[in-house]
Amino acid sequence: MPRTDLLERLAVQTSEREHANLRRRLRTVEHVEGPWLESGGRRLLGFCSNDYLGLSQHPQVIAALRRATADEGVGSGSAHLICGHRREHAQLEEMLAEWTGRERALLFSTGYMANLGTMQALLARGDVCVQDKLNHACLLDGAQLAGAELKRYPHGDVEAAARQLQGRPQAAALLATDGVFSMDGDVAPLAELAALCIRERATLMVDDAHGLGVLGAEGAGSVQAAGLGQREVPVLMATLGKALGCSGAFVAGSAALIDGLVQFARPYVYTTAMPPALAAAACAAVEIARGEHGRREKLQALIARFRAGAAQLGLPLMASHSAIQPLRMGDAQAALDAARALEQRGLLVTAIRPPTVPPGQARLRVTLSAMHEDEHVDQLLEALGALPPRAAMAGLV
Ligand SMILES: *Cc1c(COP(=O)(O)O)cnc(C)c1O
C-alpha cells in the first residue's frame, strides 16, 4: 500500500460533508450596527450572536478599549509569566473573582484554551472525567488531551453520572458540565450535580460561557443563580466573548487552584497575554453587566415574547428559558432550507447541524439580545410562521 496523502484524505472528507449537507461555509460580515449586520451587500437582522447584552457596541466599553490602547499600545508583548501581565489584567481578575464570589480568577486568551488548560492541569492518565453528553466540544477535547478516561452521561441525567463515578471509586474524578448548554439553552441540574460530587469526592467544574451576565443576581451566572459557592463548584469557568461582548475567558476558584493553573496549565503559560486594552474593555463590560439590570430584564421580556409567539404558532420550541431558543428542524436539509428561507426575508438565523448536535437533531439556533426590540422578535415570528410546511413541521415528525 502506498502511503496515504494527508491533504488528499482531507479533501475527500470535505467533499463527503458536502454530499451529506453538512459542509460549513464562512460568511464575511462587512458591518454591524445593533442587531443588524451587512453581508454580501445586504442588510440582515441577526438572531445568531452571543452578544446577549449588546455590550460589544456599548460606548463605555468602546471608550475603555480606545483609552487603554492609546495609553498602553495594542499587544501585550509576551506571555503573562514573562512581562505581559499588565495592570489591566490584574484589575480584571480581581473584578471577576469578586463578581463570581471566588477567591481568585485567572485570565485565558480564549474559553477553548481555558478549558484545555484547566483540565490538563487537573487531570492525569488514569483519572476519570465524567461529562454531560451535550457539553461544549472544548470540554470533551480537554479531557481527551489530558489523557483521562472520558465518560459521557445522557443529557442532564444525574443518576447516570452517579453510576459513572461509582464505577471508578478509586480514581481521581472531575465532573464537568456546561452551566447553560450552548446548543439547547437549558440549564444543568447544578445543585444535584454539586451534591453528587461532594458525596463522591469528585471535583465539579462548570463552564458558564452562556450564563455569565445573563443569569443570577447581578448577572453572576447560572452557578450563582443555583445558590452555589466555591465549596460546591470549586472550578468555575466563563468567557468574556459572549454576554460581556469582548473576547477571552477566565477560571475562578480558590487561590490554590489559580496558583496551580499558573504553574501547570500550558495554554496559559505558553501563549501571549490578551491585549491589555481588551482587559480594560472587559472591566468596563463587567461593571455594566453587574449594574445595568435593565438589560437583563429587557432580554428576559424578549425571550418571553418569543416563546409565547412561537408556542402560538406551534413551532418546535425546546425547554429553554435562556437567550438561546433553538427550534428543532430534524434533518440537516430541513434546517438549511429554513435558514435560507429566513435569509430571503432578511433574517439571519444559523442552522446548526451534526456533528455539533446529534444526528436527526438539526435546528435553527435563535439567540436573542437586549439589542433587539419587540418588533424585531415579531418580525422573526412572522417569518417563522410563513416557513414552507416541510421546514416548519420537520421538528414534529
Ligand atoms: C463559546 C464557548 C466556549 C469557548 O469560548 P471561546 O472564548 O469562544 O473560545 C467554551 N465553552 C462554551 C460552553 C462555549 O459556549
- Reported as a single tens digit per residue, the pLDDT across 165-208 is 999 999 999 999 999 999 999 999 999 999 999 999 999 999 99
In words, the CATH class of domain 73-291 is: alpha beta
Whole-angstrom distance, CA of residue 374 vs CA of residue 96:
32
| Residue 392, pLDDT above cutoff 60 | no
Q: Which atom of ligand 1 is nearest to the CA of 248?
A: 7
238 lines ligand 1 (CB under 6 A): no
Q: Which atom of ligand 1 is nearest to the CA of 180?
A: 13
Exposed / middle / buried, residue 120 (Cβ in 10 Å: 0-12, 13-18, 19+): buried
**Is the four-CA dihedral 103, 106, 110, 114 of positive or negative sign?**
negative
pLDDT at residue 173, rounded to an integer? 98
Whole-angstrom distance, CA of residue 311 vs CA of residue 323:
16
Identify the band that residue 320 occupies on the pLDDT scale cut at 50, 70 and 90.
very high
365 lines ligand 1 (CB under 6 A): no
- Report the interhelical angle of 137-146 vs 111-122 (nearest 10°): 30
pLDDT (average), residues 275-290: 98
pLDDT (average), residues 265-270: 97
pLDDT at residue 390, rounded to an integer? 58
207 lines ligand 1 (CB under 6 A): yes
Report the residue among 133, 180, 207, 247 best suited for mutation to probe ligand 1: largest number of ligand atoms under 8 A from its CB.
207
% of the chain surpassing 70 pLDDT:
98
108 lines ligand 1 (CB under 6 A): no
In words, the CATH class of domain 29-56+293-393 is: alpha beta
The DSSP 8-state label assigned to residue 130 in this structure reads: E
Mean per-residue pLDDT over the chain, rounded: 95
* C-alpha cell of residue 280: 480594560
Domain ranges in the chain with CATH number 3.90.1150.10: 29-56+293-393
Taking only the tens place, the pLDDT of each residue in 79-102 is: 999 999 999 999 999 999 999 999
pLDDT at residue 307, rounded to an integer? 98
pLDDT at residue 22, rounded to an integer? 82
Q: What's the gap in Å between 45 CA and the centre of ligand 1?
A: 23
Q: What's the gap in Å between 369 CA and the centre of ligand 1?
A: 18
pLDDT (average), residues 243-257: 98
| Residue 283, pLDDT above cutoff 70 | yes
pLDDT (average), residues 314-336: 94
pTM value?
A: 0.95
Q: What's the gap in Å between 144 CA and the centre of ligand 1?
A: 17
pLDDT at residue 329, rounded to an integer? 93
Domain ranges in the chain with CATH number 3.40.640.10: 73-291
pLDDT at residue 25, rounded to an integer? 85
Catalytically annotated residues: 182, 210, 242
Q: 110, 137 in Cβ contact below 8 A?
A: no
Report the residue among 108, 131, 182, 206 best suited for mutation to probe ligand 1: largest number of ligand atoms under 8 A from its CB.
182
221 lines ligand 1 (CB under 6 A): no
| Residue 159, pLDDT above cutoff 60 | yes
| Residue 393, pLDDT above cutoff 80 | no
Whole-angstrom distance, CA of residue 388 vs CA of residue 99:
46
pLDDT (average), residues 350-371: 93
pLDDT (average), residues 98-112: 98
250 lines ligand 1 (CB under 6 A): no
Q: What's the gap in Å between 365 CA and the centre of ligand 1?
A: 16
pLDDT (average), residues 295-314: 97
Please name the residue whose Cα sits nearest to atom 3 of ligand 1: 111
- Strand 249-253 relative to strand 324-330, pairing: unpaired
Q: What's the gap in Å between 91 CA and the centre of ligand 1?
A: 22
How many Cβ atoms from other residues are within 10 Å of residue 385's Cβ?
14
pLDDT at residue 170, rounded to an integer? 95
Taking only the tens place, the pLDDT of each residue in 123-145 is: 999 999 999 999 999 999 999 99
pLDDT at residue 396, rounded to an integer? 46
Q: What's the gap in Å between 111 CA and the centre of ligand 1?
A: 5
Residue recorded with cell 490602547: 69
111 lines ligand 1 (CB under 6 A): yes
The b-or-e profile of 162-200 (16+ CB within 10 A means b, else e) is bebbeebeeebbbbbbbbbbbbbbbbbbbeebbebbeeb
| Residue 36, pLDDT above cutoff 50 | yes
52 lines ligand 1 (CB under 6 A): no
Whole-angstrom distance, CA of residue 165 vs CA of residue 175:
9
Lowest mean pLDDT among 190-194, 284-288, 359-363: 359-363
pLDDT at residue 395, rounded to an integer? 47
Q: What's the gap in Å between 113 CA and the centre of ligand 1?
A: 9
Tally helices (H) and strands (E) across the chain: 15, 14
Identify the band that residue 1 occupies on the pLDDT scale cut at 50, 70 and 90.
confident
267 lines ligand 1 (CB under 6 A): no
